Structure 1
């Protein structure tokens, strides 16, 4: 019984950050994913120790263990776009590869500057 309440508390904290992130996203004058804002909010709250790690650790661990199952609806949704994805597959792969290279170069440069 106590374990169920701890999981409930963990999920409530995570969902509260998600809902605040979605609310902030709705207010912004440009489009930005509310889930990302909520994740950043959770990170800031954990970093400032306004939320203790123990308050989200158990629930986040459960979500991470079952992450593969959580992506099944996304994969099924992508099946409806297979013709579009196959048409632009080369462009998508080039964009992804270029993005990875740019991120690695940026992180490498920042790391070199920070270690001088």
Structure 2
């Protein structure tokens, strides 16, 4: 019964995010809006953490299974991905280096 409540709260935030995304004048991912809404509700303690903890843990535990359909769908675009592989690798590595430098700089500023 607890998992049903956990999933209901998470699903309600997702559906609220979809409703907000539908009325926005620009495209924005509804799932991100739902996560921000859930974060806000948890931060303000309108929703207690134990109301979503077990359901969230179950989803996280089985997250790898949720990526299987996406990976299977990408197999249909192997030719497109192989053409842009260089750009993808450069973007990923430069993003990684940029994030590491930014986090290192921020940590140095916070410590000193």
TM-score of the superposition, structure 1-length normalised? 0.88
Q: 1:18 aligns with which of 14, 19, 27?
A: 14
- The aligned runs of 1:57-76 (5 Å cut-off) are 57-76=53-72
Q: Structure 2: state its 5+ residue gaps.
A: none
1:101 to 85, 92, 97: 97
Backbone CA RMSD of aligned residues: 1.3
SS of the residue aligned with 2:34? helix
Report how far residue 52 of structure 1 moved.
0.5
Aligned partners of 2:17, 2:72: CA distance in 1, in Å? 26
TM-score, normalised to structure 2's length? 0.90
Inter-partner Cα distance in structure 1 for 2:100 and 2:37: 25
CA distance in 1, matches of 2:19, 2:52: 21
Counterpart of 2:79? 83
1:30–1:85 distance in 2 versus 1, CA, 3 Å:
same
Change (3 A) 1:110 1:26: farther
Q: CA deviation at 1:66?
A: 0.7
Q: Deviations over 1:68-88 (max 9, x none)?
A: 111111111111111111110
Separation of aligned partners in 2, 1:27 and 1:58: 32
- 2:49 match: 53
Count matched residues: 112
Gaps spanning 5+ residues in structure 1: where?
none
